[in-house]
A and B are shown apart, each in its own frame.
Chain A
């Protein structure tokens, strides 16, 4: 199950609408081992495509190093689907390399739904999980949340 703050969900939707029809993408970091998404980092879609996304490799290195220095890890990896349901595509499954991450898909076109969906993807297997959207975290976590 993914537990996520409503502000982070709003921020992902806002980014997806802004980038539409290009696929948007990003990562939400959280303290190592916490399974709690806190710090949202929008990433540039180096592919600038309506059907594909890829983090810019240089930006990814910078962001991954920053997470490591802050004792964080990627908790959520998100991207939008612009013209298909918010379910992992064959390409999503093929390139998923983080078994510990929640893979979140945002429907940028409301015809395909109004909610984010979250998945675990590993070794060709897709498992959808429940998303619990919270309006508050513990106050000490809220302070370090960015959205």
Chain B
């Protein structure tokens, strides 16, 4: 069973307006690399300098990957990966 990825509104133009996509990958980075193959351009929206962008939140199930192993966080079949742009300002 693949990983289900929830795509935020702002990135849907890259995924043919799909809200959810299914992907394989043993960790978050590999899942993003797989997405990049199918939906070019998405990786640079999520990653910079080898790390998740500071104002993009990525969750595996209910957990923010910043508090586990970042992009190396393991994925298991059936997990959900949620991408949400942080809401921030000054």
Contact = CB atoms under 8 A, between A and B. Distances in A.
Interface string A21-64: 00101010000000000000001000100011111011011001
A95 B89 contact: yes
Helix, strand, loop or mixed for chain A's interface? mixed
B73 interface: no
B55 interface: yes
A77 B87 CA distance: 8
B49 interface: no
A57 B64 CA distance: 7
B90 A60 contact: no
A7 to B, nearest CB: 23
A39 B89 CA distance: 22
A89 B90 CA distance: 6
A90 interface: yes
Contacts of A89: 89-90
A147 interface: no
Give the contact-size bracket for chain B.
10 to 19
B71 to A, nearest CB: 16
Nearest to B88: A54
Contact of B59 (A43, A61, A90): A61
Interface string B51-90: 0000101010010101000000000000000101111111
A96 B87 CA distance: 7
A55 B86 contact: yes
Nearest to A121: B89
Interface centre among B62, B85, B87 (most CB of A within 10 A): B87
29 contacts: A23-B90, A47-B88, A51-B90, A52-B88, A52-B89, A52-B90, A55-B86, A55-B88, A57-B57, A57-B59, A57-B66, A57-B84, A60-B84, A60-B87, A61-B64, A79-B89, A88-B89, A89-B89, A89-B90, A91-B89, A91-B90, A92-B90, A94-B89, A95-B87, A95-B88, A97-B8, A97-B86, A98-B85, A98-B87
Interface of A: 23, 25, 27, 43, 47, 51-55, 57-58, 60-61, 64, 77, 79, 88-92, 94-100
